[in-house]
Amino acid sequence: MSVSEFAFELELCAALEARSDRLYARQLGAGVADPGGRVLDVVGVEPRPAFADRAGITAESIPVAAIDSRVGSGRARYWKDAFDCHPKRARRATDRALEVGFFERERRNGRDYVRQVARYPDWYGRLLGIENKPDLGRPGDLESQLRTDVSLGVVDEVVLATESYVTGAHRNRIPEEVGIWRVHREAGAVREIDVLREPTPLAVADPGVEPLETYPGRTDVAVASPEAKARTRRRMAERAYGKGWRTYGLPGCARCRADDSSGATLPYCEWADRVVDAGSDCGAGCPGYDPAPASDVDLEAERDQRTDWIADPDGKRRAQSGLERFS
Q: How far is the CB of 285 from ligand SF4 (least distance, A)?
A: 8
Asked if 158 interacts with ligand SF4 (CB under 6 A), we say: no
- Considering the complex, what minimum distance in angstroms separates the CB of residue 1 from ligand SF4? 15
What is d(CA 285, CA 291) in angstroms, rounded to the nearest whole number? 12
CA distance 127 to 130: 10
Residue 240: its H or E element: helix 226-243
Q: Which of 276, 303, 307, 309 binds ligand SF4 (CB under 6 A)?
A: 276
Looking at the Cβ atoms of 134 and 251, the one nearer to ligand SF4 is: 251
Tell me which amino acid residue 36 is: G
Distant-in-sequence, close-in-space partners of 89: CB < 8 Å, separation ≥ 6: 65, 83
The H or E element spanning position 228 is helix 226-243
Binding segment (CB under 6 A) for ligand SF4, from list 65-73, 75-83, 185-193, 283-291: 283-291
Among 114, 282, 309, 316, binds ligand SF4 (CB under 6 A): 282
With binding defined as CB under 6 A, does residue 297 bind ligand SF4? no
Query: Which residues have CB under 8 Å from 46's CB, separation 6+?
Result: 22, 124, 125, 126, 127, 128
Q: Is 266 an interacting residue with respect to ligand SF4 (CB under 6 A)?
A: no
Q: In terms of Cα–Cα distance, which of 201, 202, 218, 219 is closest to 210? A: 219
Nearer Cβ to ligand SF4 (224/253): 253
Region near ligand SF4 per CB under 6 A, out of 33-41, 121-129, 151-159, 276-284:
276-284
Q: Residue 52 or residue 272: which is nearer to ligand SF4 going by CB?
A: 272
Pick the piece of the chain touching ligand SF4 (CB under 6 A) from 68-76, 209-217, 219-227, 253-261: 253-261
Quick check: 257 binds ligand SF4 (CB under 6 A)? no
> Largest Cα–Cα distance of the chain, in whole Å?
72
Instruction: State which residue, 236 or 253, has the beta carbon closest to ligand SF4.
Output: 253
Is residue 36 a contact partner of residue 47, using CB atoms and an 8 Å limit?
no
- Give the residue, chosen from 37, 56, 263, 288, that forms a contact with ligand SF4 under the rule CB under 6 A: 288
Tell me the Ramachandran region of residue 283: left when phi exceeds 0, alpha when psi lies from -120 to 50, beta otherwise.
left
With residues binned 3-state (H G I as helix, E B as strand, rest as coil), the percentages for the chain, rounded to 5, are 30, 25, 40
Torsions phi, psi for 226 (to 5 deg): -60, -35
Q: Which is nearer to ligand SF4, 289 or 310 (CB)?
A: 289
Contact call for residue 3 and ligand SF4 (CB under 6 A) = no
Q: Which is nearer to ligand SF4, 28 or 269 (CB)?
A: 269
Q: For ligand SF4, which is the closer residue by CB, 174 or 275?
A: 275
Contact by Cβ (8 Å): 146, 130? no
What lies within 8 Å, CB to CB, of 138 at 6+ separation is none
Spatial distance between the Cα atoms of 5 and 39, rounded to a whole number of angstroms: 14
Is position 269 an interface residue for ligand SF4 (rule: CB under 6 A)?
yes
The site string for ligand SF4 over 193-232 (x = CB under 6 A, - otherwise) reads ----------------------------------------
Residues that bind ligand SF4 (CB under 6 A): 251, 253, 255-256, 269, 271-272, 276, 281-282, 286, 288-289
